[in-house]
Amino acid sequence: MIHLREGIVTQILERHNDTIEILVRIEEKEYKAIVYPKLTGDVSIGDVVKLNTTAIDLNLGTGGYHFVISNNRTYQLNSDISGHIMKLKYTPIQIKCLTIEESYPHIINSFTSLERMPVAIGSIHSMLPPLAAVIKELKPNCRIVYIMTDGGALPIGFSHIVRILKEKKLIDFTITCGNAFGGDFEAVNLYTALIGAKYIAKCDAAIVIMGPGHAGTGTKLGFTGLEIANHAHIVYSMGGIPICVPRVSFSEKRERHYGISHHFLTAMGSFCLIPCHMAFPCLSEHEMEFIIKQYKTFELDQKHRISFLNEDTISIMEKNNLYIKTMGRSIKEDPAFFKTSGACGVLLTNLLA
């Protein structure tokens, strides 16, 4: 059951085309909240808004935001968008989208192969900046599409990372698939999103990662990052080259996520049925020995193509003013995480030919 409360808008903090960040007052206390104008219309100071406060009430995070469900003041919504595919379907906030399946049926129907397009597949949204930055540094003319799946946040507008990367021209296009929405292109599923990346956006490479936020339950299989195995299957079956990005950290206090996370080891060791590429950075001797022991225990080297590659991820990110955090940790606090994604970016550029 969702928690509903009313609040008064006291300040507009940031305004973008698809997202508005506001302050709302609820019983004399102020909170940050997110408005998606395509769902609820515009908002102004003094408006009374209805809010979903569930996640904050349960201390679940969501970036520290409440979310506006409706505005007591009526605004005219843009009804000019064509298309009839619904996302968030059969919910009170289902949204009409024009998808590539409707706009480009001839391209979808004539598809035969991705022709060995390299596709980097990650499990955490913060893998996106180092991947994109390293690829663009090494191959400035490489056209990159970011495909956001619906394993995390559904509105792409919630991602500050995507907005920054597009402003810096480190990604060229975005595609939202499944129930994720708000990309430059909309797709019903990952298959058609990949076709759109190759033949509609005409990109050289794709990065497939869920939006901000991922779920883990502490159980062996109860985590959203398990989707990378199936995404690899899809890329491989369509004639692409799957590059699966390891989740690595030597700053993690939780044993199951120390070194290579059990999320990645489980997905790629037990449930991925096809050979994939993956890369690790050249770390300290102890860290590299730890990683090698882990992937040998899960027999990743028996199934996948593993590389250790030199990268310059941290300086490339600093050059682009990408001071991103993962799990609350900065680049300097958790360098192995970002360097691993960067190593996979190097690997992707090596496979572009």
What string of DSSP letters covers 39-78?
A: HH----TT-EEEEE-HHHHTT--GGG-EEEEEESS-----
Classify strands 248-249 and 241-244 as parallel, antiparallel or unpaired.
unpaired
Q: Is 79 inside a domain boundary?
A: no
- The domain that holds 294 is classified in CATH as 3.40.50
- The domain that holds 28 is classified in CATH as 2.40.50
The whole-angstrom separation of Cα 189 and Cα 187 is 6
Is residue 15 domain-shared with residue 63, that is, in the same domain?
Answer: yes
Residue 234's H or E segment, with its range, is helix 227-237
pLDDT of residue 232: 98
Is residue 12 domain-shared with residue 51, that is, in the same domain?
Answer: yes
Residue 5's H or E segment, with its range, is strand 4-15
List pLDDT tens digits, range 24-81. 999 989 999 999 998 888 999 999 999 999 988 888 755 689 999 999 887 666 556 6
Structural domain total, the chain: 2
Is residue 117 domain-shared with residue 65, that is, in the same domain?
Answer: no
List pLDDT tens digits, range 96-135. 999 999 999 999 999 999 999 999 999 999 999 999 999 9
The dihedral sign for the CA sequence 104, 129, 53, 34: negative
Closest CA relative to residue 111, chosen from 233, 10, 194: 194
pLDDT of residue 82: 79
Is residue 16 domain-shared with residue 114, that is, in the same domain?
Answer: no
pLDDT of residue 303: 96
Contact 150, 179 (CB under 8 A): yes
List pLDDT tens digits, range 145-159. 999 999 999 999 999
Residue 8: which domain range?
Answer: 4-71
In this structure, of 20-29, 53-62, 317-326, 340-349, the range with the lowest mean pLDDT score is 53-62
pLDDT of 218 strictly over 80:
yes
Q: Is 82 inside a domain boundary?
A: no
pTM: 0.95
